[in-house]
Amino acid sequence: MKKELIARIIGIFFFVLGLIAIANAIYYERPHLLFWFCYLGLLIMGIGFLRKDAALVTSQLNILTIPLLVWTFDFISAILLKDSILGITDYFFTEVSWVVRFVTLQHVFTIPLAFYALSSLKFKRYDAWKLSFFQLTLVFFITRAFTFSETNTNCVYYSCLPLQFPSYYPVAWFVITFLSVMIVNLFIKNVFSRK
């Protein structure tokens, strides 16, 4: 019961933080921020925990786990080495708004909190990757339609990492994101099916 209560509290926290992220994007007139997977993921996971829906939460963890771990690695490297290795967290240290910094720190704690809270939910199925694929595809095309390449929201225009892709970039984007979804979904299935 205690763990279920903690999961509910985490769900409320994620949902409220997602609302703050959206309000902040509107207030600072940065509409492209509304499309980021990490902000959408906060809202959806918040709903998932409140509904005790393991599949809904898993669908977001499938999408977010590897990108947020990469972000966290770069953030820690920037703190320890005074310079980020990948360059994807540099904006954090030049941002003046404390609200933006607070919301951005969710990259560090979302995954550990979500996995901890997920352990209190009951799994009925392990095919959340289907919802993840649907969301990735939908948000990719919406992001391309309503944002500009200068913001590179969700890295849909070019790689956010210092890597060059010799093939057609959107194909590489789908291959990488779908592969990361399958890896995380398989990990969750292997860990939580033994619970």
User: What pLDDT is stored for residue 195 in this prediction?
Assistant: 59
Task: Supply angle C-alpha 154, 91, 20, rounded to 5.
Answer: 65
User: What pLDDT is stored for residue 78 in this prediction?
Assistant: 94
Element of type H or E holding 142: helix 129-146
CA 102 – CA 47 distance, rounded (Å): 21
Enter the pTM of the model: 0.94
Q: Which residue ranges in the chain fall short of pLDDT 70?
A: 195
3-state secondary structure of 163: coil
CA 171 – CA 58 distance, rounded (Å): 24
Handedness of CA 164, 84, 33, 8 (dihedral sign): positive
User: What pLDDT is stored for residue 37 in this prediction?
Assistant: 97
User: What pLDDT is stored for residue 152 in this prediction?
Assistant: 95
User: What pLDDT is stored for residue 181 in this prediction?
Assistant: 98
Residues 104-128: tens digit of each pLDDT:
999 999 999 999 999 999 998 899 9
User: What pLDDT is stored for residue 125 in this prediction?
Assistant: 87
